[in-house]
Amino acid sequence: MFDFLKQYYPVFVEGTAQTIIISIIGILIGILLGLIFVMMRLSKVRVFSYIARVYIAIVRGTPAMIQVMLIYYTLSKVLEVPQIQFLGSGLDRVIPGSIALGINSGAYTAEIFRSGIISIPNGQTEAGLSLGLSDRTTMFSIILPQAVRNILPALGNEFISLVKESSVLFYIGVQEVTAQALGVGGTLYDFVPPLIVAALIYFVLTFILSQLMQLLEKKMGRKYLQSN
C-alpha cells in the first residue's frame, strides 16, 4: 500500500521541511504580535486597547482560509518578493503565507498572554513599582516570566494547532506536506495512502512539539513551583 513512498519520499521530505519552516515562522510572528497586542489590549490608552480588541475579534471571527487568501493577495500587491523557488514553492507565496499564519496566531497568543498576565496578583506589580522599577521593567522582568510559566500549556496547544492549520497555505500554493500528499494522490489516482502518510507526519511533528513544551514546563516549574 505504501510502495509509492520508495519513489515519492523526497516529495514528502520536502513538504515536511516546508511545513516545519512555515510553522516556526508563524509561531515566532505570532509570539511577537501576541506580545505587542496584549500590551495594547491592557494599555490605559483607549485607542490602543480598542485596536487590539478589533484585531482579536476579526481574527477569531473569520475563517483562517479566507484570512490567508486575503493577506496573500493583499501582500503580493504591496510586497516585492523575488520569484525564488524554495522547497518546491515560490518565496512569493511562502513569505506572505507564513506572515498570515503569524497574524492569525497572534490574536490567540495575545489572549493567552492576557489570561496569564491577569492571573498574576497585583501585589507583584506593586512590589516592583515600589522598588523604583519602571512600568516596563516590572512587566517584562517580574510579571511576564511568571505569566509565561502559567500559560505554557495553553501556548503549547496554540503552537500545535498552528502546525496543523498551516495546511491552509495549500490554498495559496505553498507546497507544504498536505499539498504534497494531495499532489502524490493525484498522480496515483488514490488519495488515501498519501493522506495517511501526511497525517502521520503531522502527528509526529505535534508529538515532538508537545514533548518539547512539557520539557520546558518542567524546567521552568522545577525552579519555584514546588512547595518545598
Partner 1 sequence: MSAEQNIIEVDDLKKAFGENVVLKDISFSVKKSEKVVLIGPSGSGKSTLLRCLNRLEDDYEGKVLFEGENVNGASKEKLCLLRQKMGMVFQQFNLFPHKTVLENITFSPIKLKVASSAEATEHAHELLEQVGLSEKAEAYPQSLSGGQQQRVAIARALAMNPEVMLFDEPTSALDPEMVGDVLDVMERLAKNGMTMIIVTHEMSFAQNIADKVLFMNDGMIADSGTAKHIFKETDNARTRSFLSKVM
Residue ranges that bind partner 1, judged by CB under 8 A: 121, 123-124, 126-135, 137, 141-142, 145-146, 149, 223-228
Name which of 10 and 145 has its Cβ closer to partner 1: 145
Closest residue by Cα to residue 107 from 172, 65, 62, 160: 62
Shortest Å distance, C-beta 121 to partner 1: 8
Least Å from the CB of residue 155 to partner 1:
17
We find the least distance from the C-beta atom of residue 127 to partner 1, in angstroms, to be: 4
Nearest to 172 by CA among 107, 92, 106, 86: 92
Cβ neighbour number for residue 150 with a 10 Å cutoff: 17
Which is nearer to partner 1, 51 or 139 (by Cβ)?
Answer: 139
For the four alpha carbons of 18, 23, 25 and 26, in that order, the dihedral sign comes to positive
Q: Select 63 or 123, whichever has its Cβ closest to partner 1.
A: 123
Minimum CB distance to partner 1, residue 57 (Å): 29
Contact 68, 165 (CB under 8 A): no
Task: State the minimum distance, in angstroms, from the CB of residue 211 to partner 1.
Answer: 23
**Distance between terminal CA atoms of the chain?**
55
In contact, 160 and 134? CB cutoff 8 Å:
no
Distance CA 178, CA 221 (A): 36
Q: Which is nearer to partner 1, 121 or 153 (CB)?
A: 121
65 vs 216 by CB, closer to partner 1:
216
